[in-house]
Amino acid sequence: MIELRTPTQIEQMRPAGRFVASVISALAEKADVGVNLLELDELAHRMIKDAGATSCYIDYHPSFGAMPFGKVLCTSVNDAVLHGLPFDYTLQDGDLLSVDFAASVDGWVADSALSVVVGTPRPEDLRLIDVAQQALDAGIAAARSGNRLGDISAAIGSVARGAGLGVNLQFGGHGVGRTMHGDPHVPNDGQAGRGLKLRPGLVIAIEPWFLHTTDEIRFDPDGWTIRSADGSRGAHVEHTIAITDGDPIVLTARD
């Protein structure tokens, strides 16, 4: 069911957005050569506790998950791009790391993701991250009252295709509110002018993710971590936004 939030409720969601943004920023700063993925998860765990927030991940167990997630953060490295389950891995020079984090504050959820290169970057990785960010910006720009959901999807897909990238439609953006994942699903490609009419009060996560040379994926034995089918690297970015009568509000905007 699609729910629209009142202006008061959107204001009540701002603390969750600010908190999630602060955690994503802290993780990006902490990520470095020699840092273990479990250290990043522990940092997010401490920040959740200190803020009196609630993890959206630790007990999360959708139909595709082999078990409850068990961690508070997704860490996807190199050819992993989504839902990376943190494990005992120390970041190496040149790793492409995507972090995805969602939490609830006072009963309202926000969700955001960021990709960074650790140490010495590969130019193609920086380009992939830049394309993902351009696609996110384009999707947000299309998230205006009176437009259609397909306008957001088409804007994202157009950036990807213009950069010569394929788009996987199995996972994408989603509604956000009292829970992390709700309606509507927001694909990363589609037809402009089609789909749900966007109205003020709709709160969604827009999350482009792309792979260098494929749009096919595979799951790790952990049942969570999603990798490219051909071993190529991936980038993932995401913001939670609220549609208004004017410009969209990026609730997870980082300073």
Residue among 254, 134, 139 at smallest CA distance from 204: 139
Tokens of 1: 């069911």
Rounded distance between C-alpha atoms, residue 217 and residue 193, angstroms: 29
Strand 209-211 relative to strand 108-117: parallel, antiparallel, unpaired? unpaired
Q: Say which residues have a Cβ less than 8 Å from residue 254's Cβ, sequence separation at least 6.
A: 21, 24, 25
Q: Which residues are registered as beta bridge partners of 42? A: none
Residue type for position 23: V
Rounded distance between C-alpha atoms, residue 214 and residue 218, angstroms: 11
Rounded distance between C-alpha atoms, residue 2 and residue 144, angstroms: 17
- Which segments are annotated as binding site for substrate? 83, 181
Contact 43, 101 (CB under 8 A): no
Q: Give me the phi and psi of 65, to 5 degrees please.
A: -80, 135
- Which segments are annotated as binding site? 83, 100, 111, 174, 181, 207, 238
- Which segments are annotated as binding site for a divalent metal cation? 100, 111, 174, 207, 238
Residue among 43, 23, 32, 38 at smallest CA distance from 86: 38
